[in-house]
Chains A and B, each alone.
Chain A
């Protein structure tokens, strides 16, 4: 089946540093989504991308839809302690277009 390969699996950074993570697949997608999960909560949508090459920002977060349509990238600038959590990429890949998810990148931020 279709899979989303997310890396890195975890990151330990200092407050104020920039963060980069990515998601790749052997399949082509028309939509890429990025979610964040705070500890003890459900995932919340951060950014949605609908066009190859698209670059979209949400505050300190910037995500890009890869030109090949097989990958996507998420950058966080000037990290703060509340950025801690698990970041998931997702794309519609199931039989009905159900979202499939990467395994997540766990971000830890040291004050």
Chain B
């Protein structure tokens, strides 16, 4: 089925470890983004990309890196995990950052990350 695929679904890291959260979409969407969801905080934008080779920071970018070498993939890297990064991470994609009429963002099913 077409959509946004995130891996892994669950991950436990030790403080200071690094890891990459994977996100892939097969809808030929130019826009991709990463959000984190914390209890009572809603969804907050970490980084986004409007096309291959173009990335920019969102509301809460510190501690995270991204790159966009292909239209399909948008990995999120944690260089040195901290307990404050314990969260549920969602990748989303769309035709454009401003949703065209009839569309919204398509979200993946999330990665639940715990940093101990």
Residues of A near any B CB (own CB < 8 A): 1, 6, 9, 31, 33, 35, 40-45, 48, 50, 88, 90, 92, 94-104
Given A33-B99, A103-B41, also A48-B104 (CB < 8 A)? yes
Q: Closest approach, in angstroms, between the C-beta of A99 and any C-beta of chain B?
A: 6
Complex Cα gap A90–B104 (Å)? 10
Contacts of B105 in A (CB 8 A): 43, 45, 99
- Residue positions of B touching A, CB distance < 8 A: 4, 33, 35, 40-45, 48, 50, 56, 58-59, 90, 92, 96-99, 101-105, 107-110
A39 to chain B minimum Cβ distance, whole angstroms, is: 11
Question: In the complex, what distance in Å separates the CA atom of A97 from the CA atom of B99?
Answer: 8
A94 touches B58 (CB 8 A): yes
Q: How many interface contacts (CB-CB < 8 Å) are there between A and B?
A: 73
Q: With contacts A42-B108, A42-B110 known, is A9 near B40, CB below 8 A?
A: yes
B97 touches A94 (CB 8 A): yes
Besides A31-B98, A98-B48, A103-B40, 6 more A-B contacts (Cβ < 8 Å) are A41-B109, A44-B107, A48-B102, A48-B104, A96-B97, A97-B96
- Give chain B nearest CB distance to A3 CB in angstroms: 10
Whether the Cβ atoms of B99 and A101 lie closer than 8 Å is: no
Interface centre among A9, A35, A40, A99 (most CB of B within 10 A): A99
